[in-house]
Structure 1
Amino acid sequence: MKLSVVATLYQSENYISEFCRRATKSARSLSDDDYEIVLVNDGSPDNSLHVAVEITEKDPHIVVVDLSRNFGHHKAMMTGLSYAQGDQVFLVDSDLEEDPELVETFSKQMRDEGCDVVYGVQQRRKGNWFERWSGRWFYSLFKTLTGLTLPENVVTARLMSRRYVDALLSHREREVFMAGLWHITGFDQRPHAIKKHSTSTTTYTLRKKMSVLVNSVTSFSNAPLVGIFYIGLSISTLALCYIVYLVVYRVFLATPLSGWTSVMASIWLIGGMIISFIGIVGIYLSKIFSETKQRPYTIIRQVYGHRQN
C-alpha cells in the first residue's frame, strides 16, 4: 500500500465528512486507488463514531478503530500508526485546523529533499498571548530539564516514511509524549511552515496542559529527582555550616539555651540527609517503575471497515 492517512477522533462529528472527502481527494492524487484512511475514535463523547462508521459503509478505503475508552490524543495516534500499512504515513488531526491537502505539499518536499519526515510548523502560534507565551516557556523549560531541543510550534501534521514509522513504534514506554518521541527517533526530518486554522474549541484544558508538561519532563528526564537530591545535599551543607557557626558562637561569643543548639543542628542535618537519600532511591525506583509497568497503549473495542475480518 502506497499511502496511509491517520487521524484521531474526539468531538469531531462536525468535521469527519469533510475531512474524509478532502483527504480522499488528496490521497487519490498521490497514490491512485492504493491508499487507506485510518480513523481512531478516542472514546469521543459525541456522535463521531456513528458518523465515521457510516462513511466506512460507503468507502472501503476508510477504516475506523474504536477504542474502549478515552486514552488520550498521543496514545490514540500511536494506535493509528500501528494499524497503518502504507509505505508512507500521513498523520493529521481531523478537526481541519490542519489542511488534509498538506499531504501533497509534504510529499513533494519529501521527494525533492530525499528525507524521511516532513512535519508542519506553525508560522505564528495559534491562540492568545498567554497560549503563545506558555508555548515558548514550555519549550525553554523542556530544553533546560532534559537537554533536548525540540522544534518549536510543531503541529500534528507530518508525512513519514515506513522505516521511520516502524522505528517510532519501537518505543515502548507507557507514558507517551509524541513531540519527544518524534524528535529522538531521529532520521532526516525537515520542517515545513504552515498556517493552522481555528475551526474548533480546544479540548486541552489547563489541567491537561499541565499533565502533558509533567509527563513530558518525567518521560525524558530524571532532573526532578536529581533536583530533590541536590536540594537535600544543599540543606545538609548549610546545616554543617550552621553547626560550625553555632559552635563558634557558643565558645567565643555567648551561651545559648541549653540543648537548643544540638536539637536544631541535628534536625537540619538529618532532614537534609533523608531528603538526599530519598532522591537517590527515587532515581532508581523511577527507572524500575517505567520498565515494569507493561500496560498496553490502548484497548481496541472494535474495528470497522474493509479489514474488519
Structure 2
Amino acid sequence: MLDISVVTTLYRSASYIPEFYTRIKKSLEKLGLTYEIIFVNDGSPDNSLEVAVEIQQKDNSVKVIDLSQNFGHHKAILTGLSHTSGELVFLIDCDLEEEPENLETFHKEWLKNEGKFDVIYGVQQEREGTFYRRIAGDLFYKFFNMISDEKIPKNPCTIRLMTKRYVNSLLEFKDQNVFLAAMYEKVGYNQKPYVIKKTYKGSSSYNLFRKVALMIDGITSFSSKPLLIIMVSGFSISILSLIYAFILIFRKIIFQSIIGGWTSVMVSIWLMSGLIIFSLGIVGVYISKIFNETKDRPITVIRKIYK
C-alpha cells in the first residue's frame, strides 16, 4: 500500500494543472512518501483532460479518471476517493487557491498528534472574496446550522488530510444527493480544523443558482425540520383562523356587525395560497429525494481511467 494518495478534481482547470502538479509532486518528494496523484476530470469543457493525460503519460504515479459528463464537484470528489490506495488521502482543489505546500503542514500536524486525528481539514479565518461572497457564505452556514440536524464548521475548505479508514467509512454513504460538508461531519471520527490562507481567484464555478441548489440539497438531505415547520405553521394558522372565526361570531351576535373588506379577503386568499404552494414545494423536494434514492444509480459514470 502507498503512503499517501492525492486527489483533485478538474473543471476549467487546464491553466492550473501544470503548476499544481509540479508543486504537489515537490512536496510529496520532500516528505519522502510513496504516493499517487489522482486527477478526476468532471466533464471539463476545456482541455483539462488532455493536459492531465499528457502528465500521466510521463509519470506512472499519476492516474486520470475521466467522467462521462459533469456530475458536480462533490460527486467527482467521492469518485476520486473511491480509487485511492494510500494509507493517507490528501484532498485539495487544483486551482491553487489552496496552496499545494499545505500538504507538508498538514502531514506534520498529523504526525505531531501521533495519529490521534483521522482528519485534519482546512478552514478560513475570514472568508476571502467580494462583500457579497463573504456575506452569502456567512448566511449559508448560519442558516444551515440553525435548521439542520448536522452542524458543519464555518468556512470549511476542500483541503483535508484523511486516514484510509475514515475515507472507507465516508464511502459507505450511498447518498444520491451529495452534500460533502455535512457528510464529513456525519462520518464522525476525531477531526481537527486547521486555519489556512486561501487566495480567491476572482471567479467561481458555483453561481447563485448552484449555491441555492446546494443549500437545498444539504438541508433536505440532513434535516426534516422544514416539514416540521410546515406542520407547526399549518397548526398555528388553523388556531388563529379559529380564534378569528369566534371573534366574527361574537361581533355578529353582540353588535350585529361583521368586519367587511374585499381587500383583506383577497390578501388572505393570496397569503394562504402562497403558503400552501410553498409547503407543497417543500414536500415535493423530499418526495423527489426519496424517488432518487430508490433508483440506486451510480453517482458518476467513468468513461476511462488513464494509469
Q: Is 1:116–2:113 an aligned residue pair?
A: no
Indicate if the aligned counterparts of 1:91 and 1:157 stay in contact, CA closer than 8 A: yes
Structure 1 counterpart of 2:84, one-letter code: A
Tell me the equivalent position of 1:155. Answer: 157
Structure 2 residue identity aligned to 1:3:
I
Preserved CA contact (<8 Å) 2:43 2:66: yes
Q: What TM-score results when the alignment is normalised by the length of structure 1?
A: 0.87
CA contact (8 A) 1:92 1:158 kept: yes
Q: How does 1:226-265 map to 2 (within 5 A)?
A: 226-256=228-258
**Contact 1:79–1:298 (Cα < 8 Å) also in 2:** yes
Of 222, 229, 233, the match for 1:220: 222
Q: 2:40, 2:67 within 8 Å by CA — same for their partners in 1?
A: yes
Q: 1:77 to 1:291 in 2, by over 3 A?
A: same
- Residue 99 of structure 2 aligns with which residue? 99
Structure 1 contact 118–158 (Cα < 8 Å) conserved: yes
* Partners of 2:285 and 2:66 in 1: CA distance: 37
Question: C-alpha distance in 2, partners of 1:125/1:291?
Answer: 34
By how many angstroms is 1:157 displaced? 0.6
Unmatched runs of 5 consecutive residues or more in structure 1: none
Q: Is the 8 A contact 2:129 2:202 kept in 1?
A: no
Q: Equivalents in 2 of 1:172, 1:49: separation in Å?
A: 27
Q: What is the identity, as a one-letter code, of the residue corresponding to 1:52? A: A
What is the correspondence of 1:166-185 to structure 2 with a 5 Å cutoff? 166-185=168-187
Tell me if structure 2 keeps the 8 A contact 1:222–1:283: no
- Cα offset for 1:285? 4.2
Q: Corresponding residue for 1:140? A: 142
Contact 2:75 2:299 in 1 (8 A): yes
Partner of 1:202: 204
State the alpha-carbon separation in 1 of the partners of residues 281 and 132 from structure 2. 34
- Does the residue aligned with 1:87 lie in a helix, a strand or coil? strand
Match of 1:15 in 2: 16
Which 4+ stretches in 1 moved above 3 angstroms?
A: 277-291
Deviating more after overlay: 181-190 vs 4-13: 181-190
Q: Give the CA deviation at 1:31.
A: 4.2
- State the shift of 1:286 in Å: 6.5
Change (3 A) 1:283 1:51: closer
Q: Which residue of 1 aligns with 2:294?
A: 292
Aligned equivalents of 1:222, 1:286: Cα separation in 2: 14
Aligned-partner Cα distance in 1 for 2:219–2:190: 24
The one-letter code of the counterpart of 2:120 is V
Aligned residues of 2:121 and 2:160 also touching (Cα < 8 A): yes
| Partner AA of 2:27 in structure 1 | S
In structure 2, stretches of 5+ residues that fail to align are: none
Change in Cα spacing, 1:147 to 1:63, as seen in structure 2 (3 Å) is same
Report deviation, 1:225: 2.0
Partners of 1:226 and 1:283 within 8 A in 2: no
Distance of 2:10 and 2:50 partners within structure 1 = 11
In 2, the alpha carbon distance for the partners of 1:234 and 1:283 equals 23
- The aligned length equals 297
Amino acid at match of 1:231: S
Residue-by-residue CA offset, 1:104-157 (whole Å, 9 max, x unaligned)? 111111111121111111132111222111111111101110143311111111
- Normalising by structure 2, what TM-score? 0.88
